[in-house]
């Protein structure tokens, strides 16, 4: 019956599991039973199956009745012990109300702040990751070699995607869209109604590959021809009333790329709020090619292309493989092609000289660290106050130990206490977050909701971590007392304890001071950017776009605009002062042909722009209708003159490309083109009198009336478009929105950090004053004045805060410097910033402990010395 | 019927122990019950029932001989206590009384 010859052993791991967990008294019998069953199985089934069944038997045998008890004392009454601990804890809370409240308030504000930041961070991280194939979805990027720098583009040729699919087996699929300068935004007409629509050119498989949900229509068919348009749900509702009514309808749609009839083939759900691509309508990319053949040429960078890579593709290897993909297509080696994960781009989208330098991820990291630090500060409060209270608890611990409590149970008790507090704090902070979220969303420009079900596990872990962090030190410290010494009234190790407590306060204040300095630096920098002399004036200037007009019409429109009463002057251009993202190369002097590669900032301005913006002409003249200027005339800025090494720029001809040349008619003083993140660069101002960006300077005092007149004029020329003029000043502020958001957030965070630190200091001061009452009493009897007492009590705290200041200054100097280096133009770190931060923290600290020390100094010695 | 606290599965195991006499050890009980119930049982379920009943005083046990099939490990032979016999009898009585009191409709 038995197989003596070739004995097959049961699986070793299961055996070990059984031996590890089964109660020792049962082991022999039950293991024997299972072994016997295993032998039966071996006779009936294959070896593998028998082994599997054996493992299953083992797992089934690991049930509460049969496994080892986790704690040896079998009769230990957990429940009543827990009850007792809870009771003691609650009584403690009631007796020491100040400490309890300080702990609770500190922890809950700290938790609330961290929670808000956590929500923000997780929202930032979720951006663009909603696509089903997120893991495989990559964006094609290129580094482009200029003569003196490398620029990085997130757009490539419109042919790129298809070629990738055929040439590389790793590429499963490719989808491409028109890049952000090729967005078909315009007006849809249906049944006499005009609807402004922001559109997107998408390749035929757009909805097939990307996860934008179609409410109607099939993903692979909605974009098959160039007469189909897919609209968003909200657009469908706006135009047709219902989603169903939209499908199959013919509408006309006009943009600067096309003006034709479309059939609505599908309706998609609005892109989620955490998508960077937001659009109301999608039309076929072929339409862009029809309008502009470069959209399908290798040397046109018209499309953003995303590819789906086969699962398990090695990205580094793939990047090496495609690196030189463009070389034979454009016959030069200036392109380096690479891919970046689609959802990574939002946070890591900044490149410098061909290397990734970060992007929004820096703020995300910064705030993650800040939130953790705030939590640490709040936990330090708890630690400090509980160890400070140790003297109150010593007797309790002594008695418990004498009766037979061991260290583990005591540790457990203190842990329960800190867990309870952090749980209470959590409830409070959840409430706080719930109340503050709308305000927070406003500041952070987000649409975050507190979804308890989704965030509950995270909350649970936070509470556990905070409870552990805050409770660990008191728990291990207090449970280590020697009962005999404690009950005799001898308390050892007070010195060491105070040392640690002071150390923790120093940590708290160092962090707070760093926060204060950080906030001052951020605010100063923002004020600086808002007041910096940009070389042009922003006062009373409104800008708006003239859309949907032919070039001749634009010229008439601008002429009419100039003659509108209340308008000081007006001009039009192509390009944008605040974004400054238009540039071009190909300009060179015969002396130095190398400059051909240089990418000059090159806005195209019409007449009167220079005058309207208040730019200073140093030499020559601005564009002027009297001279019948044309595109062969250019104006340089000082930097460009310097770069090209021109001594007498006026009248000099500059070669452009291979065959044409441009004449310099003026030189303008350097001014800021683009945000302050960019330095002032050499610029060549070209001429174009039909640019669509209108710039109007209004007469002060009559702005509203003038704006109304302009709006009427606008309506006359652009009946289908809304008039959307904005003040340049406002736009300029919006440019620094992300810094302003950061600054608002960091203001709040610094405030919270300081409040929490002060709460802790307050508690400690109260405690010290209480413990030293007798000393103070005796001092007073011996003749100490109230002032002496206040000074005495303040001294100790002053020292700690000063140490904190000394620690914080070099650290914060380092951090501020690295933050400021993100800006091309930044403030200098002045000594007063550090002085203000240090002094104010010292004052805050004094103020916090002032109340306590003052009260202590007014003690009546007769009362406090009475019972001894 | 006082506080006997004998679950249905426990009762089955207990009766099997009585039936098997000297052969009443884990695997044998499992085999017997599997035959009678025609379903598969795990060693763990039988063992935990046995341990529970031993704690409640329905069973006593002692080590029996070791066999090679068991990898040299001894069996533990279970036997029912007089108390268990009494409880089994009580339960049977209660059941038969209930059967007798049942109107003669639903069966067969």
Residue B84 has pLDDT above 80, yes or no: yes
* B97 band by pLDDT with thresholds 50, 70 and 90: very high
Residue A703 CA from chain centroid, whole number = 38
Which of B30, B45, B73 minimises the CB distance to A32? Answer: B73
Confirm whether B76 is domain-assigned.
yes
Average pLDDT estimate for A575-582: 72
Which of B47, B67, B68 minimises the CB distance to A61? Answer: B47
Per-residue pLDDT at A471: 79
Average pLDDT estimate for A5-19: 81
Whether residues B43 and A33 touch (CB distance < 8 A) is answered with yes
Tokens 């070793």 correspond to: A12
Which of B42, B68, B73 minimises the CB distance to A28? Answer: B73
Average pLDDT estimate for A158-172: 89
Average pLDDT estimate for A403-411: 81
Least Cα distance to A835 among A468, A494, A513 occurs for A513
Query: CA-CA distance, A607 to A570, in Å (whole number)?
Result: 9
Whether residue B51 lies within 8 A of chain A, CB to CB, comes out as yes
Return the percentage of chain A with pLDDT > 90, whole number: 9
Average pLDDT estimate for A412-416: 81
- Which of A831 and A447 is assigned the larger pLDDT? A831
Whether residues B69 and A57 touch (CB distance < 8 A) is answered with no
Query: CA-CA distance, A38 to A8, in Å (whole number)?
Result: 10
Per-residue pLDDT at A78: 66
DSSP codes of every residue in A90-150 = HHHHHHTHHHHHHHHHHHHHHHHHHHHHHHHHHHHHHTTTTSTTTTTEEEEEEEEE-SS-E
Q: Which of A41-50, A66-75, A760-769 has the highest mean pLDDT?
A: A41-50
Average pLDDT estimate for A767-796: 85
Confirm whether B106 is domain-assigned.
no
Which of A28, A37, A39 minimises the CB distance to B43? Answer: A37
Average pLDDT estimate for A148-171: 86
Kindly list the residues from chain B whose CB atom is less than 8 angstroms away from the CB atom of residue A28: 73-74
Residue A481 CA from chain centroid, whole number = 47
Residue A2 has pLDDT above 50, yes or no: no
Confirm whether B107 is domain-assigned.
no
In angstroms, the separation between the Cα of residue A412 and the nearest Cα of chain B is 31
Cβ contact A578:A535 at 8 Å: no
| Residue-wise pLDDT tens digits, A311-335 | 888 999 999 988 888 888 888 888 8
- Which of A393 and A114 is assigned the larger pLDDT? A114
Angle (CA) A191 A197 A200, round 5°? 125
Backbone CA torsion sign across A509, A515, A520, A525:
positive
Residue to test with chain B: of A34, A39, A63, most B Cβ within 10 A: A34
Least Cα distance to A186 among A287, A276, A60 occurs for A287
Residue A3 has pLDDT above 50, yes or no: no
Average pLDDT estimate for A440-461: 78
| Residue-wise pLDDT tens digits, A614-673 | 888 888 888 888 888 888 889 998 888 888 888 888 888 888 877 788 889 999 988 888
Per-residue pLDDT at A6: 57
Tell me how crowded residue A94 is: count the other CB atoms within 10 A of its CB.
9
A60: closest chain B residue by CA: B44
Give the range among A24-38, A168-182, A369-383, A447-461 with minimum mean pLDDT: A447-461
Using DSSP bridges, classify how beta strands A350-352 and A355-358 pair: parallel, antiparallel or unpaired: antiparallel
Q: Which CATH number covers residue B57?
A: 1.10.10.10
Whether residues B27 and A29 touch (CB distance < 8 A) is answered with no
* A493 band by pLDDT with thresholds 50, 70 and 90: low
Q: Structural domain tally of chain B?
A: 1
Give the range among A28-42, A522-536, A556-570, B8-22 with minimum mean pLDDT: A522-536
In angstroms, the separation between the Cα of residue B27 and the nearest Cα of chain A is 6
Tokens 């008191």 correspond to: A474
- Which of A720 and A541 is assigned the larger pLDDT? A541
3-state secondary structure of A155: coil
Least Cα distance to A749 among A122, A121, A273 occurs for A121
Whether residues A30 and B25 touch (CB distance < 8 A) is answered with no
Per-residue pLDDT at A626: 84
Confirm whether B57 is domain-assigned.
yes
Three-class SS of A159-207: CHHHHHHHHCCCEEEEEEEECCCCCCCEEEEECCEEEEECEEEECCCHH
Whether residues A29 and B68 touch (CB distance < 8 A) is answered with no
DSSP-assigned beta bridge partners for residue A468: none
Using DSSP bridges, classify how beta strands A250-254 and A186-190 pair: parallel, antiparallel or unpaired: antiparallel
| Residue-wise pLDDT tens digits, B9-62 | 999 999 999 999 888 998 999 999 999 999 889 999 999 999 989 888 899 999
Average pLDDT, chain A: 83
Torsion of CA A296, A300, A304, A305, to 10 degrees: 60
- Map out the domains of chain A as residue ranges: 12-61, 137-346, 548-720
Cβ contact A817:A670 at 8 Å: no
Query: CA-CA distance, A394 to A402, in Å (whole number)?
Result: 12
> Cα(first)–Cα(last) distance of chain B, in Å?
29
Per-residue pLDDT at B77: 92
Return the percentage of chain A with pLDDT > 70, whole number: 96
Confirm whether B38 is domain-assigned.
yes
* A77 band by pLDDT with thresholds 50, 70 and 90: low
Residue B2 has pLDDT above 50, yes or no: no
Cβ contact A263:A221 at 8 Å: no
Cβ contact A155:A298 at 8 Å: no
User: How many distinct helices (H) and strands (E) make up chain A?
Assistant: 28, 28
In angstroms, the separation between the Cα of residue A408 and the nearest Cα of chain B is 30
Which of B45, B69, B74 minimises the CB distance to A28? Answer: B74
Residue B40 belongs to domain spanning: 8-100
Cβ contact A508:A755 at 8 Å: no
ipTM of the complex: 0.87
In angstroms, the separation between the Cα of residue B108 and the nearest Cα of chain A is 38
Kindly list the residues from chain B whose CB atom is less than 8 angstroms away from the CB atom of residue A34: 43
Which of B42, B67, B69 minimises the CB distance to A60? Answer: B42
Cβ contact A771:A537 at 8 Å: no
Per-residue pLDDT at B34: 92
- Residue A139 CA: distances (Å) to CA of A153, A177, B85: 11, 11, 78
Chain B residues 75-94 with a CB less than 8 Å from chain A: 75-76
Confirm whether B3 is domain-assigned.
no
């Amino acid at each position: 019956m038995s197989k003596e010859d070739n004995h097959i052993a049961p699986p070793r791991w299961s055996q070990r599991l059984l031996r590890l967990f089964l109660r020792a008294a049962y082991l022999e019998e039950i293991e024997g039973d299972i072994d016997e069953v295993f032998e039966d199985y071996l006779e009936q089934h294959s070896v593998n199956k028998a082994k599997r069944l054996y493992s299953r038997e083992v797992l089934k045998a690991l049930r509460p009745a049969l496994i080892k008890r986790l704690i040896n004392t079998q009769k230990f009454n957990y429940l009543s012990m827990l009850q007792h601990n809870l009771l003691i804890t609650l009584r403690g809370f009631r007796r020491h109300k100040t400490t309890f409240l300080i702990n609770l308030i500190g922890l809950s504000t700290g938790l609330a702040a961290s929670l808000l930041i956590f929500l923000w961070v997780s929202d930032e991280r979720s951006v663009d990751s909603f696509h089903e194939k997120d893991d495989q979805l990559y964006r094609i990027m290129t580094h482009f070699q200029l003569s003196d720098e490398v620029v990085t583009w997130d757009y490539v040729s419109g042919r790129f995607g298809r070629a990738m699919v055929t040439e590389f087996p790793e590429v499963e699929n490719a989808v491409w869209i028109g890049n952000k300068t090729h967005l078909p935004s315009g007006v849809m007409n249906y049944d006499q109604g005009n609807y402004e629509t922001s559109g997107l050119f998408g390749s035929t498989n757009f909805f097939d590959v990307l996860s934008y949900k179609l409410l109607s229509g099939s993903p692979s068919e909605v974009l098959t021809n160039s007469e189909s348009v897919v609209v968003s749900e909200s657009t469908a509702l706006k135009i047709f009333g219902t989603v169903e009514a939209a499908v199959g309808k013919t509408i006309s749609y006009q943009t600067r790329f096309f003006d034709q009839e479309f059939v609505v083939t599908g309706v998609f759900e609005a892109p989620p709020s955490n998508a960077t691509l937001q659009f109301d309508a999608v039309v076929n990319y072929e339409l862009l090619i029809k309008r502009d053949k470069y959209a399908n040429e290798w040397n046109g960078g018209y499309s953003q292309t995303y590819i789906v890579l086969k699962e398990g593709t090695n990205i580094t290897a793939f990047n090496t493989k495609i690196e030189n993909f463009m070389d034979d297509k454009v016959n030069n080696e200036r392109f380096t092609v690479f891919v970046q994960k689609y959802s990574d781009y939002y946070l890591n989208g900044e490149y410098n000289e061909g290397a990734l330098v970060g992007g929004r991820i820096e703020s995300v990291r910064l705030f993650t660290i800040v939130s953790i630090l705030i939590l640490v500060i709040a936990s330090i409060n708890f630690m400090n106050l509980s160890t400070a209270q140790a003297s109150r608890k010593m007797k309790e611990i002594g008695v418990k130990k004498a009766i037979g409590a061991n260290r583990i149970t005591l540790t457990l008790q203190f842990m329960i206490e800190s867990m309870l507090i952090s749980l209470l704090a959590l409830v409070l902070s959840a409430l706080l977050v719930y109340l503050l979220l709308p305000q927070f969303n406003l500041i952070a420009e987000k649409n975050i909701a507190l979804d308890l079900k989704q965030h509950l596990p995270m909350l649970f872990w936070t509470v556990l971590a905070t409870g552990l962090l805050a409770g660990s030190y008191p728990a291990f410290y207090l449970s280590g007392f020697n009962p005999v010494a404690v009950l005799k009234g001898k308390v050892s190790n007070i010195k060491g304890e105070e040392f640690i407590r002071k150390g923790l306060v120093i940590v708290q204040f160092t962090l707070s001071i760093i926060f204060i300095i950080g906030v001052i630096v951020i605010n100063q920098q923002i004020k600086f950017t808002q007041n910096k002399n940009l070389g042009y004036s922003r006062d009373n200037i409104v800008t708006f776009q003239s859309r949907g007009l032919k070039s001749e019409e634009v010229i008439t429109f601008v002429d009419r605009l100039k003659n509108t009463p209340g308008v000081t002057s007006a001009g039009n251009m192509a390009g944008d002062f605040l974004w400054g993202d238009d540039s071009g190369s190909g300009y060179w002097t015969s002396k130095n042909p190398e400059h051909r590669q240089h990418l000059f900032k090159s806005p195209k301005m019409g007449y009167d722009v220079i005058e309207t913006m208040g730019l200073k002409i140093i030499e020559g003249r601005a564009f002027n209708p009297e001279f019948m200027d044309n595109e062969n005339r250019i104006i340089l800025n000082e930097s460009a003159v310097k770069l090209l090494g021109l001594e007498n720029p006026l009248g000099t001809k500059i070669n452009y490309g291979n065959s044409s040349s441009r004449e310099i008619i003026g030189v303008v003083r350097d001014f800021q083109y683009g945000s302050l993140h960019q330095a002032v660069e050499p610029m060549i101002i070209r001429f174009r009198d039909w640019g669509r960006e209108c710039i109007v300077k209004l007469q002060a005092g009559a702005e509203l009336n003038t704006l109304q007149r302009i709006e009427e004029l606008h309506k006359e020329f652009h009946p289908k478009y809304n008039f959307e003029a904005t003040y340049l000043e406002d736009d300029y502020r919006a440019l620094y929105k992300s810094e302003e958001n950061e600054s608002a957030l960091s203001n709040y965070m610094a405030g919270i950090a300081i409040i929490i630190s002060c709460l802790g200091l307050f508690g400690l001061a109260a405690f010290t004053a209480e413990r030293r009452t007798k000393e103070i009493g005796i001092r007073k009897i011996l003749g100490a004045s109230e002032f002496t007492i206040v000074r005495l009590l303040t001294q100790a705290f002053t020292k700690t805060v000063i140490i904190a200041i000394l620690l914080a200054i070099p650290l914060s100097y380092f951090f501020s410097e690295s933050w400021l280096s993100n800006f091309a133009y930044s403030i200098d770190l002045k000594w007063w910033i550090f002085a203000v931060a240090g002094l104010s923290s010292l004052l805050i600290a004094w103020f916090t402990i002032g109340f306590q020390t003052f009260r202590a100094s007014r003690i009546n010695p007769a009362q406090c010395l009475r019972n001894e | 019927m006082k506080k006997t606290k004998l679950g249905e599965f426990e009762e089955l195991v207990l009766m099997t122990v009585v039936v098997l006499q000297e052969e009443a050890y884990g695997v044998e009980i499992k085999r017997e019950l599997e035959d009678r119930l025609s379903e598969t049982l795990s060693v763990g379920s039988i063992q935990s029932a046995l341990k529970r009943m031993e704690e409640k005083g329905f069973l006593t046990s002692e080590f029996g001989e070791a066999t090679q099939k068991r990898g040299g490990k001894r069996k533990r032979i279970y036997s029912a206590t007089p108390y268990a016999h009494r409880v089994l009898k009580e339960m049977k009585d209660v059941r038969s009384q209930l059967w007798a009191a049942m109107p003669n409709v639903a069966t067969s």
